[in-house]
A and B are shown apart, each in its own frame.
Chain A
Amino acid sequence: MNTSIQSAGQAQSDLSKGQVSPFWQITPFNCVFILFFIVPLLLILMVSFWDFNEYEILPDFTFKNYLSIFDGCLNTQEMCVTLKTYLSTFKFCFTVWLSTLLIGFTLAYYLAFHIQSAVVQTALFAICTIPFWTSNVIRMISWIPLLGRNGLVNKALIESGLVQAPVEWLLFSNFSVILAFIHLYTMFMIVPIFNSMMRIDKSLIEAASDSGASKWQTIWNVIVPLSKTGIIIGSIFVITIVMGDFVTVGVMGGQQIASIGKIIQVETSYLQFPLAAANAVILLSIVLMMIWALTRMVDIRKEL
């Protein structure tokens, strides 16, 4: 991405007379991100050290929010709520990441290497991306008629005699949360991986098969390394979404499953902003570490 910025910058480096300076052109854009991204993040950091009572937040410098979050976490007998919640979120994260990666990679591979016609390719790609622009909540509740107690799946299972009573874990469970995540966010894997694959020189694949590589060897030794950037970008999207999610876990978990995002949401609804801010700082640090680890993986590969 670095190179694309530079090449875009070099396209027209001289400012001729009467032209608006790039500083003024970028200013509205910058203002939005200063006002609605950078300042809010700094305020979160600041308020995470504040105190609060039932009615208002009080300027202070205290570690008590952080201490209360990790209260009891040194106990080796039973895991504290915070660690339990993170563990559950990590489990979701890993399952969803692996599933979306495998499904997304397979679909992108199919689109990039098996569809010859550019028109068909564009059409199939559009089919995969259109649902992204419709409502997530509606796509979540659309599973109710399928997975509910009297849903289609349960009816089919009972009629076929596989089960006697309706299966309860299909909806408002860990299963339905993971299913909804895969349903909603596989697109974030397909798009960047497909993009990377389209840049792969097709003659490399031919060269691999001419040299006697099997299909799997070609995929593993040629396509996967060359799609690495797309895989990493997709992974960053999916991981950050799942780590901070509270809507999907809420709706698909029947408001019964905990997540860090949900803790933050509940705390703000009780006006416990400093506590919510401290949780946000911790979540942000963890997410940044994960992104840092992921981006290092691409760079190391490039250097080798």
Chain B
Amino acid sequence: MKRNSEFLILSIFFALFVLFLYGPMFIIFLLSFQGPDGGLTFPMNGVSTHWFEKLVQGMGTVDIAAALERSAYLGFWVTLITVVFSVLAGLAFRKKLNGANIIFYTAVASLIMPSIIVSLGIGLEFRLLDNAIKWILAAMNMTETLESYGTSLGLYTSALGAHLSWTLPFGLLVMFAVFNRFNPSYEEAARDLGATPWQTFRYVVLPLISSSVIGVGMFGFTLSWDEIARTSQAIGDVNTLPLELQGLTTTVTDPSIYALGTSTSAISLAVMACAMLVAKWFNKKQLKATS
């Protein structure tokens, strides 16, 4: 009896937590379909897609479509690099690796380091690089190049690096979890049958870890897609979508900001759903192949 009442209380607590977690998000999802005369709070003044249309037309000085495109491209490259570098690092850690502990703890340190510090550091790094480049150009009397030189800070330099310093530690931790449970006898069998290291990796190891690799990719994209703190000081003249969104919270006073929130969350959720489906598909294929 006592056990049942404890279960009941904890179940209610869990349900309340889920409500706390999802309730507010559900409310802005509803309010983003607010009628044209509706405001930031309830009641709903009719139902419409007015605010989504307004979003597509652009919000004042901010070009949402361009920011979305930038974030999507950046997210794509972050995902790709995170997957490749994490898998390679995961493989390296299975062998005798010099400085394994230092590398591991550096990655963990990067994960827990306050983002504003990393961001400031990367921003400084590229500004000092700018100064050095300008100094060299001036010393070489290349005045034309000097005048047209802007900055080395940008989406695919400093911002990409800032995102990787955040996504790669997650990727490494996932690879650790995978390879700690990995049975090396499959590889040994492949080797005994005369497979080259590449064939062993491509046809034995990779299919076995594929669903986790998809997971690493999902981490990479969704973390990059919503990143603010690390990007904030480490980006040049253009902003990513979440940075624009953060700026808009102080200026926009109509439901179009909810429409934007609904849209970007929908993209995050769609990426997660795709990743899960693909991982499931790989798992199924794996089961078929091994049974």
Does A associate with B in a complex? yes
Query: Could you say which of B17, B103, B128, B268 contacts A43, with CB atoms under 8 Å apart?
Result: B128
* Contact pattern, A 21-51, Cβ under 8 Å of B = 1, otherwise 0: 0110110111011011111110110010000
Query: Could you say which of B13, B14, B98, B261 contacts A124, with CB atoms under 8 Å apart?
Result: B14
Residues of B near A43 (CB, < 8 A) are 121, 124-125, 128
A135–B264 touching, CB < 8 Å: yes
Residues of A near B269 (CB, < 8 A) are 130, 134
A291–B112 touching, CB < 8 Å: yes
Closest to B14 in A: A110
B264–A138 touching, CB < 8 Å: yes
Closest to A237 in B: B112
A40–B122 touching, CB < 8 Å: yes
B94–A8 touching, CB < 8 Å: yes
CB of A125 to closest CB in B, whole Å: 11
Closest to A40 in B: B121
For residue A193, CB closer than 8 A to chain B, the reply is: no
A23–B42 touching, CB < 8 Å: no
Q: How big is the B interface, by class?
A: 35 or more
Residues of A near B93 (CB, < 8 A) are 5, 8-9, 22, 26
CB of A269 to closest CB in B, whole Å: 9
For residue B146, CB closer than 8 A to chain A, the reply is: no
Residues of B near A264 (CB, < 8 A) are 116-117, 120
Residues of A near B88 (CB, < 8 A) are 25-26, 28-29
Q: Which of A60-68, A79-87, A280-288 contacts B (4 or more CB under 8 A)?
A: A280-288
**A-facing residues in B105-164 (Cβ within 8 Å):** 106-107, 109-110, 112-118, 120-125, 127-128, 161-162, 164
CB of A238 to closest CB in B, whole Å: 10
CB of A259 to closest CB in B, whole Å: 9
The answer for the CA separation of A32 and B14 in the assembled complex, in Å, is: 40
A9–B95 touching, CB < 8 Å: yes
For residue B96, CB closer than 8 A to chain A, the reply is: yes
Q: Which of A141-149, A196-204, A296-304 contacts B (4 or more CB under 8 A)?
A: A141-149
CB of A153 to closest CB in B, whole Å: 11
A243–B100 touching, CB < 8 Å: no
For residue B55, CB closer than 8 A to chain A, the reply is: no
Residues of A near B113 (CB, < 8 A) are 37, 240, 244, 284
Residues of A near B104 (CB, < 8 A) are 1, 5
Answer whether A9 and B96 are a contact pair too, CB < 8 Å, given A28-B85, A244-B116, A283-B114.
Answer: yes
The answer for the CA separation of A291 and B179 in the assembled complex, in Å, is: 28
* Contact pattern, B 158-190, Cβ under 8 Å of A = 1, otherwise 0: 000110110010001000100110101001000
Closest to B191 in A: A16
For residue B211, CB closer than 8 A to chain A, the reply is: no
A142–B268 touching, CB < 8 Å: no
B124–A47 touching, CB < 8 Å: yes
Residues of A near B257 (CB, < 8 A) are 141
For residue B27, CB closer than 8 A to chain A, the reply is: yes
CB of A58 to closest CB in B, whole Å: 11
Residues of A near B17 (CB, < 8 A) are 103, 107, 128, 186
Answer whether A273 and B245 are a contact pair too, CB < 8 Å, given A38-B106, A136-B228, A268-B120.
Answer: no
